Amino acid sequence: MSVKHLVNNNNLIAFLKPNPLVSTGFDSIIDDWLARFISPLTRCSYRHAIFEFFSTLNSDGYSAELLAQFLCLEATQAYELVSKYHGTLIERGLAPGTINQRLTVVRSLVNYATEIGKCHYNLANLKMERVSSYRDTTGISTDSFKLMLSAVDRSTLRGKRDYAILLLLWGNALRRAEVTSCNVKDFDAHEKTLSILGKGKGKQAQKVTLGSNTVNCIQEWLNARGNSKPDEPLFYAVHIGYYGHRLNNDSVYKIVKKYAKLASIQKNLSPHRIRHSSITAALDATNGDVRAVQKLSRHSSINTLMIYDDNRRNEQGRVTSILEDLL
């Protein structure tokens, strides 16, 4: 659906009248706005989302002129336009959480433009979708993960790398971005630590303690690739054409999918599913010690761990069985 279609229905046609002068000073707004976010993953996802927004408004996609026209709307016009965009997201069947994320990105851009004097309205009263508090924390069993590890050919350079990555995902419940952002200097074999950029921690590195087997496997990978410099990526591509390039988040996803398939695991597995599996296994092993497991998961709120623990114990299922036994 284009802006022209959205706007014509609401007598906002003036918004679309070409005026190259209006776009003066708007060329760098997107890049300057995105530069405020520390996480490369956030910058990438926000850029994709805002370009998707403008592509929905206009089939020609994003342009500085289109951005200028949007930011120069009257507040009522902007709310009406974004509300219609909200409607198209619902029509496309997107999940409430995804819809809210897209709307949050638009609101963030508008807030930034307001701060620098390029917009005179905000979207503070924009209505969001109601999101269920249910959190799916299901993963795979320890035995299933062992099958994945056994599927890795550790005699190859690729296998040594992949094995080390899988151990980090399981043993330290790392997020894939925490794995891919590490450099060689972040790994300390003697201290058995890895410095990571945790979610929501900005540029402040966190040190996590590694298991002995993980340390040995990372060292084995580093020795096999040879001549590692401190500022080089801890994990990089080994195939022709991309050798030495830092692995990205999608690369880690593909590694997990590859070994899940080789291990004949039917569940749709991802790096974050392994994180779920690791946290659940830790709760099982510690008899539900959420305080201890919070040190592993690095969740800011203990309430998140309680969701994992509740799902693990399936209290609802236990109570249902009790009720059936009363009949």
Give catalytic residue positions: 175, 201, 272, 275, 299, 308
**Closest Cα to residue 245, out of 254, 234, 257?**
234
**Dist CA 221 CA 155 (whole Å):** 11
Q: What is the distance between the alpha carbons of residues 177 and 240, in angstroms, rounded to a whole number?
A: 23
Q: Which residue shows structure tokens 């692995």?
A: 247
Q: Is 232 exposed, middle or buried (0-12, 13-18, 19+ CB in 10 A)?
A: middle
Q: How far apart, in whole angstroms, are the C-alpha atoms of residue 275 and residue 207?
A: 18
Residue matched to tokens 């096999």 = 224
Query: Which DSSP helix (H) or strand (E) runs through 237?
Result: none
Contacts (Cβ under 8 Å, ≥6 apart) of 319: none
